[in-house]
Amino acid sequence: MAGWEEFFEKKTLTKEERKLACNRHITTEFHMEQLILKYFSDEDFSKVWERKIGGGVIGGKACGLLVARKLIALNMPEYALFMEPHNSFFIGTDVFYQYLVLNRCAELKARHRLEKEHFQETEELTRRLRNGVLPDDIRTELGKMLDHYGTVPLIVRSSSIMEDGYGNAFSGKYESVFCLNQGTKEERMAELEDAIRRVYSSVMNDSAIEYRRKFHLLDADEQMALLIQQVAGQEYDGIYFPAAAGMGCSYNPYKWMEHLNPEAGMLRMVLGLGTRAVERTPGDYPRLVGLDRAKANLRTTIAERHKFSQRKVDVLDFNKKQLCTKTLEEIIERLPLWQKKMVLSRDTEAEDLLAERQIYRKVYFADCQGLVENRDFILMMRTLLKMLEAVYERPVDVEFAVTSPKEGAWKLNLLQCRPLPSAKSEQVKIPTDVDEELLFDVSRTSMRRSKEERIDYIVWVDPKNYYEYPYSKKPDVARLISQINQHFEETDKKLMLLVPGRIGTSSPELGIPVVYAEISQFSAICEVAYGEAGYHPELSYGSHMFQDMVEADVYYGAINDNSKTRLYQPELLKKCPEILKTLWPEEEELADIIKLYDVSRCRASLILDAREGRAACRIRGGE
């Protein structure tokens, strides 16, 4: 490393030296390399090297973060005072190789690449990755890094060379681990090392392997770097969190209100740590913001806004020494008044009803309304997202946190930036006068690009029978859907999934508890309302599952029992062959709940008209 120290001490670097510095320390991916060579100063290269531990490159997530921050500094100097300074460290990809060799993982990892799905020692490789030791020289550098941070909380994030690039996002596939970073230096080091082991071992988790399989990356050499960041936030009487956090998309692929402009982008925000903004949270509702009409709310009354708001908050608890979920009531009294105005609203109607019973208290709910009404914040986010989209030449999404250490002041901490797939729309029009052939015709409930594609099989979950199925057995429905998904893995068949309530929920009473890896073969997924059982679609805009569907160009929509659904005629499916029992004769009980219709001979197709904001599934009948 001494040679590199002399290298970066030079006042100016040649064109060849800049490229060498980029490829050795930051990235070799062509598109990101071009952005770095165009926008990075010689000093920027030096700063990366100063914050890097070990050899190799810093990986896709770290690279995307640095490029986005540099672009903001160059193109939006008027917002400099609103930006939190960068304060991250990077562990290079070579450290992962050292770790593999030191802990007898290298041979198993190589065999996994070679044998792919037939690899039989996944558990052993995962065990070795999870329980390994780090090289002594790396531990020394980590100790110096802890001295730099002191005792502020940290997060260890994956930064694979394949993450957040122009080809693949890997949204939520690898672990991110919070470190409370409290106690003695030895205790803090032990916690940090354990977090690093957890992230390294996550290269073998099911979702990551399924993602690599789906995108034909099982042959690729997975080189894992790490991004270590200070957690944005402040302490509130023993717990730590930011005032707000969330994600933003420069293009809003799903219109939840009629007059939203998709080109303006969207935000999905929560009070507290952003974990609740990127995961599906049953019974909780992050704030959705269309950046062209930020104050427009899907919920029109105070009662509705309160009902569909955030009830739980993710925080770091110093006493419990872990990430915890608190109720909103536990958080409210810890917030200073100016932060309450930023992230909370008052339910004055509920307050009036309580007053009639001689109960006088303020009733708050979390909806980030103060941020939504902050013109500087909304304009900054819209400008930032559109600027990044223009430079990247495709839509992007970002993760961010907002802190407010004193009244009248707020800071944005940009945590991540990644380019999204950019697929062109086709010229598509949904035909008229064919209502008798339409399984559904919906508007303003999730729209991607315009296209028409064939559908070969439709999986339909009977809402009434699912509701009446014993609670303890409901996960079996998810299990069989996963088996159907796996059955079609090696085919080019197009599948559609229609489920009651919410997809991907962890609460079976609200919908079907699957993860994306279990439904990855479906090209269309619809959540279906069934009011008699209380099943209501609640599309998880901005969650990791949402990002998976965006990246895979999956249609993700809702069939509601309101004006957004012009037609829904599930009885049309009965004219097509139902084949579940043929493929799974042993699943006699579940065959009453899950139907697998072969619609390949019925000339079925999914038709999306983005201009009109409509989606329809047409089943023409037999040939």
| CATH number of the domain bearing residue 203 | 3.30.1490.20
For residues 519 and 166, the model is more confident at 519
Query: Do the domain assignments include residue 575?
Result: yes
**Sheet of 234-236: strands edge to edge?**
234-236, 239-241, 312-317, 322-327
Residue at a domain's end among 227, 249, 271: 227
Going by C-beta distance under 8 Å and a sequence separation of 6 or more, which residues neighbour residue 472? none
Residues 175 and 242 in one domain: no
Q: Say how many Å lie between the first and final Cα of the chain, rounded.
A: 70
- Mean pLDDT for the stretch of residues 481-492: 89
Strands 502-503 and 511-512: parallel
Q: How many residues does the chain have?
A: 623
Query: Do the domain assignments include residue 85?
Result: no
CA angle 144, 148, 150 (to 5 degrees): 110
Residue 87, pLDDT score = 93
Residues 279 and 384 in one domain: yes
Residues 584 and 550 in one domain: yes
Residues 98 and 30 in one domain: yes
Residues 385 and 462 in one domain: no
**In this structure, is the dihedral angle defined by the CA atoms of residues 118, 120, 126 and 132, taken in order, positive or negative?**
negative
Strands 495-500 and 457-461: parallel
Asked whether residue 56 carries a pLDDT value surpassing 60, the answer given is yes
Instruction: Count up the domains in the chain and report the number.
Output: 3
- Mean pLDDT for the stretch of residues 540-545: 59
For residues 482 and 408, the model is more confident at 482
Query: Do the domain assignments include residue 81?
Result: no
Tell me: the pLDDT tens digits for 557-613? 888 888 788 999 999 999 999 999 999 999 999 999 999 999 999 889 999 887 777
Asked whether residue 173 carries a pLDDT value surpassing 80, the answer given is no
Residues 144 and 282 in one domain: no
Asked whether residue 253 carries a pLDDT value surpassing 70, the answer given is no
- Whole-number Å distance between alpha carbons of 558 and 537: 6
Residue 1, pLDDT score = 42
Residue 13, pLDDT score = 84
Domain encompassing residue 309 = 234-419
- Residue 290 three-state SS: strand
Residues 446 and 569 in one domain: yes
Residues 410 and 441 in one domain: no
Task: Name 458's bridge partners.
Answer: 496, 597
Query: Do the domain assignments include residue 572?
Result: yes
- Cα of 541 vs its chain's centroid, Å: 9
- Residue 429 is given by DSSP the state -
Asked whether residue 334 carries a pLDDT value surpassing 70, the answer given is yes
Query: Do the domain assignments include residue 217?
Result: yes
pLDDT-derived band at 505 (thresholds 50, 70, 90) equals: confident
| CATH number of the domain bearing residue 246 | 3.30.470.20
Tell me: the pLDDT tens digits for 91-134? 999 999 999 999 998 888 777 666 556 566 778 888 999 999 99
Asked whether residue 623 carries a pLDDT value surpassing 60, the answer given is no
Residue at a domain's end among 227, 242, 271: 227
Strands 604-609 and 451-454: antiparallel
Residues 536 and 559 in one domain: yes
Tell me: the pLDDT tens digits for 240-249? 999 999 999 8
Give me Rg for the CA atoms of the chain: 25
- Mean pLDDT for the stretch of residues 3-30: 84
- Burial string for 121-152 (b: 16+ CB within 10 Å, else e) reads eeeebbebbeebebeeebeebbeeebeebeeb
Residues 450 and 482 in one domain: yes
Query: Do the domain assignments include residue 350?
Result: yes
Asked whether residue 447 carries a pLDDT value surpassing 60, the answer given is no
Query: Do the domain assignments include residue 508?
Result: yes
> What totals of helices (H) and strands (E) does the chain contain, helices first?
22, 28
Residue 606 · residue 524 · CB < 8 Å: yes
Residue at a domain's end among 372, 393, 419: 419
- Residue 277 is given by DSSP the state H
Q: Is the pTM of this model over 0.85?
A: no
Residues 263 and 303 in one domain: yes
Query: Closest Cα to residue 412, out of 276, 266, 246, 285?
Result: 246
Strands 52-53 and 176-179: unpaired
Residue 448, pLDDT score = 61
Asked whether residue 550 carries a pLDDT value surpassing 90, the answer given is no
Tell me: the pLDDT tens digits for 372-410? 999 999 999 999 999 999 999 988 989 999 999 888 899
Residues 63 and 195 in one domain: yes
Structure tokens at 606: 């999914």
Residue 364's Cβ-side half-sphere holds a number of Cα atoms within 13 Å equal to 22
Query: Do the domain assignments include residue 84?
Result: no
Query: Closest Cα to residue 535, out of 470, 472, 464, 590?
Result: 464
Mean pLDDT estimate for the chain: 87
- Mean pLDDT for the stretch of residues 233-252: 93
